[in-house]
């Protein structure tokens, strides 16, 4: 018997089919199409709402073992990368597959740094938003607007063009993010300072006021670098799936990144970090944690920042973020929300409801507490996620474009609607209740 194949017996026809297994653990859905009862049949499909058990691609970028709580970028454990690398160094690894030499890193940093400025028309575009506009809405729209400034980005099949857009996006997303923050406060924009590191320059564009030169606190800058490393990629999550799907139509990388950021903004995905702080505010104090947990167990809402489609163990990123919090709080002073979060984690991890569902803190549970301690407003938290995840989206987009197996994403469906119906003229129609 072939270890790398399944024999499927169709009881309907008593026919048997040998279906090869890929990489030891997957079968090609298209192989199901040969299973028919009549030769003219369409053949079988797989049905998998939300892609709970469907591989959409082969990827060499990020490996996750959800049961063991393992996360590696290009084979390197996230714990080592977070401890020993800078964010742009990890960005290089994720995009190009290898850790850069010192010379390669210098050239890479220079490349990114020269793309931090925004076209002046982009600033005017941003000024059109109301002061109350949510930063994520401004970020998504402005990233998409970049496609109107760089029409050459449509040459997605040209490797040199792709490399130029990758550098433009990684260089500009912190600038756009900072501009959305400054706009919401009515403050003047701060132009990039290309003498500063990626994270320190982001702090400069967020917080510089009238001083001639911004002095970034090195502990905060390092904490931001670590947070950016932890958020850079996470294999086929909802927003990355969006990046790949939109990119599969050969749309330009700016509108693809905007689409991915739109997916990230949902409260079940990257928007959770903002919801965690709102949840901690609602709980209000440590002694009210048990009552809140009971409410969730009764089916009223979710513990935001808990649970994960893949991790059925502690999210390794949450553990590192918790450690990073200590270094930040030594500078900023503690965050009272941390006490509530730690109590919520303690209670939940001892409660059968969460234990039986393998619900652990995920990357979003502690990140907002650090951002808040840094002085970043809650509405900016998902933008903070989108900045580093732009690297992962672009790496996955490139891998998709270069994958000979990939083509435009177009799933099938199981049709459950009406069969053919005779047309009814308007005077003969009866009213019917429509869903509110
Ligand atoms: C991110 O995919 C990624 O990699 C994403 C991400 C990345 O880096 O890109 O890791 C980033 O998005 C992290 C997740 C952030 N979202 C949240 O913290 C929102 C709260 N979490 C949940 O909405 C939920 O856990 C998801 C969306 C993260 C995962 O949902 P699944 O895999 O679809 O699981 P499910 O909804 O089917 O839940 C299984 C059970 C259900 O209970 P029963 O119907 O079996 O009784 O667990 C329950 C759920 O009700 N459950 C929760 C819960 N999460 C799941 N109950 C309470 N609180 C929660 N947070």
The residue count of the chain comes to 436
The per-residue pLDDT for 101 is: 98
CA distance 355 to 341: 17
**Contact residues for 161 (Cβ-Cβ < 8 A; gap 6+):** 152, 153, 155
Please give the average per-residue pLDDT across 51-73, as a whole number.
Answer: 96
Ligand 1 centroid–CA 309 distance in Å is: 6
Query: Which residues form the pocket of ligand 1, taking CB atoms under 6 Å from any ligand atom?
Result: 234, 237, 268-270, 272, 296, 302-310, 357, 359, 362-364
The per-residue pLDDT for 344 is: 96
Q: Cα 29 from chain centroid?
A: 26
Q: Give nearest CA residue, ligand 1 atom 47.
A: 357
Tokens of 46: 């797989």
- Domain range summary for the chain, segments of one domain joined by +: 5-47, 78-404
pLDDT at 25 over 90: no
Helices (H), 66-134: 78-84, 87-96, 102-113, 120-127
pLDDT at 24 over 90: no
Please give the average per-residue pLDDT across 161-174, as a whole number.
Answer: 98
Ligand 1 centroid–CA 357 distance in Å is: 10
C-beta separation of 222 from 320 below 8 A: no
Ligand 1 centroid–CA 390 distance in Å is: 22
Which residue in the block uniquely carries the two structure tokens 């923050």? 181
Q: Give nearest CA residue, ligand 1 atom 43.
A: 357
CA distance 351 to 66: 20
- Determine the atom of ligand 1 nearest the C-alpha atom of 306: 60
CA distance 36 to 26: 21
Residues classed as catalytic? 269, 308, 364
pLDDT at 252 over 90: yes
**Contact residues for 357 (Cβ-Cβ < 8 A; gap 6+):** 307
Which of 236, 308, 313, 354 should be mutated for ligand 1, with most atoms under 8 A from CB? Answer: 308
pLDDT at 134 over 60: yes
The per-residue pLDDT for 435 is: 74
Global pTM value: 0.96
Tokens of 341: 């979060």
DSSP conformation class of 306? B
CATH node for 78-404: 1.10.580.10
CA atoms within 13 A on the CB side of 297: 15
Place 433 in a pLDDT band, splitting at 50, 70 and 90. confident
CA distance 168 to 170: 6
- Determine the atom of ligand 1 nearest the C-alpha atom of 362: 13
Place 250 in a pLDDT band, splitting at 50, 70 and 90. very high
CA distance 71 to 233: 10
Ligand 1 centroid–CA 310 distance in Å is: 9
Which residue in the block uniquely carries the two structure tokens 């709080």? 329
Tell me if residue 97 falls in helix, strand or coil. Answer: coil
User: How much of the chain exceeds pLDDT 90, in percent?
Assistant: 95
The per-residue pLDDT for 61 is: 98
Ligand 1 centroid–CA 362 distance in Å is: 9
The per-residue pLDDT for 110 is: 98
Which of 69, 239, 294, 307 should be mutated for ligand 1, with most atoms under 8 A from CB? Answer: 307
CA distance 232 to 230: 6
The per-residue pLDDT for 2 is: 57
pLDDT at 170 over 70: yes
Q: Tens digits of per-residue pLDDT, 261-287?
A: 999 999 999 999 999 999 999 999 999
* Mean of all residue pLDDT scores within the chain: 96
The per-residue pLDDT for 23 is: 84
């Amino acid at each position: 018997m072939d270890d790398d194949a399944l024999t499927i017996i169709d009881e309907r026809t008593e026919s048997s089919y040998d279906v090869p297994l890929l990489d030891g653990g997957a079968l090609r859905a298209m192989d199901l199409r040969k299973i028919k009862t009549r030769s003219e049949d369409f053949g079988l499909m797989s049905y998998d709402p939300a892609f709970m058990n469907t591989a959409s691609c082969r990827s060499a970028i990020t490996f996750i073992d959800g049961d063991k709580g393992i996360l590696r970028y290009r084979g390197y454990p996230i714990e080592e990368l977070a401890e020993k690398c800078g964010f742009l160094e990890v960005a290089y690894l994720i995009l190009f597959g290898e850790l850069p030499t010192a010379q390669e890193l210098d050239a890479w940093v220079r490349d990114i740094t020269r793309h931090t400025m925004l076209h002046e028309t982009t600033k005017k575009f941003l000024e059109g938003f109301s002061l109350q506009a949510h930063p994520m809405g401004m970020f998504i729209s402005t990233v998409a607007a970049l496609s109107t400034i760089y029409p050459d980005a449509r040459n997605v099949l040209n490797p040199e063009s792709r490399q130029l857009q990758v550098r433009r996006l990684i260089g500009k997303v912190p600038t756009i993010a900072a501009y959305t923050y400054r706009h919401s406060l009515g403050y003047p924009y701060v132009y990039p300072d290309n003498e500063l590191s990626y994270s320190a320059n982001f702090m400069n564009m967020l917080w510089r006021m009238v001083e001639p030169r911004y002095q970034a606190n090195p502990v905060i800058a390092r904490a931001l670098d670590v947070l950016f490393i932890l958020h850079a990629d996470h294999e086929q999550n909802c927003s990355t799936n969006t990046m790949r799907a939109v990119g599969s139509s050969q749309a330009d990388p700016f509108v693809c990144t905007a689409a991915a950021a739109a997916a990230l903004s949902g409260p079940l995905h990257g928007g959770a970090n903002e919801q965690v702080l709102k949840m901690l505010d609602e709980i209000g104090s440590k002694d009210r944690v048990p009552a809140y947990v009971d409410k969730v167990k009764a089916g009223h809402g979710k513990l935001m920042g808990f649970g994960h489609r893949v991790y059925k163990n502690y999210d390794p990123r949450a553990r590192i973020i918790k450690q990073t919090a200590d270094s930040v709080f030594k500078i900023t002073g503690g965050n009272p929300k941390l006490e509530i979060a730690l109590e919520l984690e303690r209670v939940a991890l001892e409660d059968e409801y969460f234990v039986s569902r393998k619900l652990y803190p995920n990357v979003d549970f502690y990140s907002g507490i650090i951002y808040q301690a840094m002085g970043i407003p809650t509405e900016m938290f998902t933008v903070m996620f989108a900045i580093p995840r732009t690297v992962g989206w672009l790496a996955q987009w490139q891998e998709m474009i270069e994958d000979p197996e990939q083509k435009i994403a177009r799933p099938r469906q199981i049709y459950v609607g009406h069969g053919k119906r005779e047309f009814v003229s308007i005077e003969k129609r009866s009213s019917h209740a429509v869903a509110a």
